[in-house]
Chains A and B, each alone.
Chain A
Amino acid sequence: MTLKTNRRSLMIGAAATLALPAYIRRVNAQSVTKVAGVHASPVENAWNSRIHLAMQQAAEAGLIEYEFSEGVAATDYPRAMREYAESGVGLVWGESYAVEREAREVAADYPDTAFLMGSSGGPEGDNFGVFGTRNHEAAYLAGMLAGTMSESNVFGSVGGYPIPEVNLLINAFRAGVSEVNPEASFLNGFIGAWFDPARAQEAAIAQIDAGADILFGERIGTADGAQARGVKAIGSLIDYTPRYPETVFANAIWNYGPTIEAIVADIQAGNPVGKDYTEFSFMEHGGNELIYVADMVPADAIPAMEARQAAIQSGEFEVPIDNNEPA
């Protein structure tokens, strides 16, 4: 038998070749979700680093495929979202704080793509999910440890801007301190920038001068001030202890893994993702945790903190969420 190529077989062959990538994509989509991260900041900025790390871990575990852009300016942000949506990813992850309206417009244009955005607003439609940052429970527990450690009973904190996610964190820390130390008084400074470590450090020193001897560092740079003056500090979001071993005795860690798992499960099950995924940052889901250096805290402070931790995990105790600007 001789092989003959006629017009019909050529057409069929060409069509099959063209359709193959689409078919493969379909098959793949059922097992691995392609995720594109659009980071407004460099990925080693504390908040983004937690998400970046969790994404990388999920990719290593075979749950997702992960690609990302970083340092994307607000003016460029919708363009980057569109480009990823056009490229056929299953989920576009991002932060829409500065581009709420534009991000929602993009999501509406790509109804088959899931979007998950760090946002101050609510979810929208079937495909625009949102999440908030919650490591306040761990901050509360850190406050319970700190409350027993101060000599001056003055507790400081340095924040970026008074947005709800920052306010509720600082307030939770204070509530934790107050639970074990009714005499506590508090100082707070906002530096009006997300990344100005030199200024955060000056704000920390200003509070130490005003009597604070334990500082809650919402911003990087705070612990540098504490280190320079020999007082103690608490880290937020990431583990700062390796960086400041003598200074940072506890960290309110934020884990983003549970949120990724939750939305990927929804995508793979074909559920609409237009909902609020904030709950997966709660301790109940493993979304935040306290890590601390036991040698640096008084031994008798630990049992009470651990009892609270168990109560939070079991849902018996709810750490109050107070969005008001701390004075």
Chain B
Amino acid sequence: MIEALDLLMSESLWAAVLRIATPLIFGVLGALLCERSGVLNLGIEGIMTMGAMTGWLTVYLGGDLWMGLVIAALAGALMGLLHAGLTVPLGLSQHVSGLGITLFASALAYYLYRLIVEVGETPPTIEPFRPYAVPVLSDIPVLGPVLFTQTAPTYLALVTVAVLAYVLARTPLGLAIRMTGENPHAVEAQGLNPNALRVGAVVAGSALMGLGGAFLTTAAFNSFFPEMVQGRGWICIALVVFASWQPGKALVGALLFAFFDAYQLRLQTVVEGVPYQLFLMAPYVLSIVALILVARRAEVPEALMAPYRRGER
């Protein structure tokens, strides 16, 4: 028991929390941006797979790592455009379209990968992002090794939280996006085009999801596997609710989930006689519990999942 508490004091645990949280942070911010404009994007799991594949492939074919991230974001944006096209101007079911995008994008990623990359015994590798110790800051005791010796995409994820929070809360564009999610008629009355805002938000949100996927193949690991996203997208969808559609809380949610995961991997090594499945379940169970506690007070965007048609009342 003492050992289990000792684990909480280890820098390594908290560094792992940030690593595990990074793809979730990108994913949850992307899903949040889509939903703030009124569009549920269940394509996330497939879009992350697409981002993981294209980001990796870019580097494999000779691009540099940052180019990989850019291409992954573009691939995500393209999938987002497809989802937006189906759900915003056409007003189709967001659930059906989103799940369709997930199936389509996962299969397409696998297919393109197979066309371009030769089958080998293990998938080919790239040189991934290495942890980068930020000068000076990384020398701070405890905080340094945890926060300032991460890979570049992790820093990017943290910056993105701040940027998105600022844009949504403090800029006219953010106000317009939020208003589109609450009351698109009011947006129209302001002389803005709610559907254009929605398409833009879904495309941008999907680009973030693509980045989340790319983290898995360009920083956390150095190869692509078609199944490697492993449900992280679905977790992000739940985390949006947990976060009450707010970027800051989304960061907390992603870190909390990652903490449970990092902690259970370590608990498996010190606690004996408890079935490992209980540990594996822990992050999910605790997320559900947290969801119940938090989501009751959540303020759902009023117009979420309601397609907007001009002149309709």
Residues on A facing B (Cβ under 8 Å): 41-46, 49, 52-53, 71, 156, 162, 187-199, 201-203, 205-207, 209-210, 220-221, 224, 238-240, 243, 325, 327
- Beyond A71-B226, A190-B276, 16 additional contacts (C-beta under 8 Å) are A44-B122, A71-B110, A162-B276, A187-B269, A194-B227, A195-B228, A197-B220, A197-B228, A198-B220, A198-B221, A202-B19, A220-B122, A224-B221, A240-B122, A325-B276, A327-B272
Residues of B within 8 A of A238 (CB): 121-122
Residues of B within 8 A of A206 (CB): 16, 262, 265-266, 268-269
Contact B269 A243 (CB under 8 A): no
Residues of A within 8 A of B10 (CB): 209
Contact B227 A201 (CB under 8 A): no
Interface size class, chain B:
35 or more
Contact B269 A201 (CB under 8 A): no
Answer whether residue B136 sits at the interface, using C-beta atoms and an 8 A cutoff: no
In the complex, how many angstroms separate the beta carbon of B127 from the nearest chain A beta carbon?
A: 13
Contact A198 B216 (CB under 8 A): yes
Contact B266 A201 (CB under 8 A): no
Contact B121 A188 (CB under 8 A): no
Contact A202 B16 (CB under 8 A): yes
Contact B280 A190 (CB under 8 A): yes
Residues of A within 8 A of B190 (CB): none
Docked CA distance A196–B265 (Å): 14
A196's partner among B16, B120, B230 (CB-CB below 8 A) is B230
Residues of B within 8 A of A325 (CB): 276
Docked CA distance A288–B268 (Å): 30
Residues of B within 8 A of A71 (CB): 110, 226
Give me 20 A-to-B residue pairs in the complex whose CB atoms sit less than 8 angstroms apart, sorted by A's number: A42-B110, A43-B119, A44-B120, A49-B120, A71-B110, A71-B226, A187-B268, A188-B268, A189-B265, A190-B268, A195-B227, A197-B220, A197-B221, A202-B16, A202-B262, A203-B268, A206-B265, A206-B269, A224-B221, A238-B122
Contact B216 A44 (CB under 8 A): no
Docked CA distance A156–B110 (Å): 33
Residues of B within 8 A of A202 (CB): 16, 19-20, 261-262, 265
Residues of A within 8 A of B272 (CB): 327
Answer whether residue B89 sits at the interface, using C-beta atoms and an 8 A cutoff: no
Docked CA distance A210–B110 (Å): 37
In the complex, how many angstroms separate the beta carbon of B43 from the nearest chain A beta carbon?
A: 19
Answer whether residue B104 sits at the interface, using C-beta atoms and an 8 A cutoff: no
Closest residue of chain B to A208 (Cβ to Cβ) is: B12
Contact B12 A209 (CB under 8 A): yes
Answer whether residue B160 sits at the interface, using C-beta atoms and an 8 A cutoff: no
Q: Closest 6 CB pairs between A and B?
A: A198-B220, A210-B269, A206-B265, A192-B280, A197-B221, A206-B266
Answer whether residue B138 sits at the interface, using C-beta atoms and an 8 A cutoff: no
In the complex, how many angstroms separate the beta carbon of A252 from the nearest chain B beta carbon?
A: 15
Docked CA distance A243–B262 (Å): 26
Q: Contacts A189-B265, A210-B266, A327-B272 known; A243 to B19 CB distance under 8 Å?
A: no
Residues of A within 8 A of B222 (CB): 224
Docked CA distance A199–B261 (Å): 9
Docked CA distance A209–B8 (Å): 12
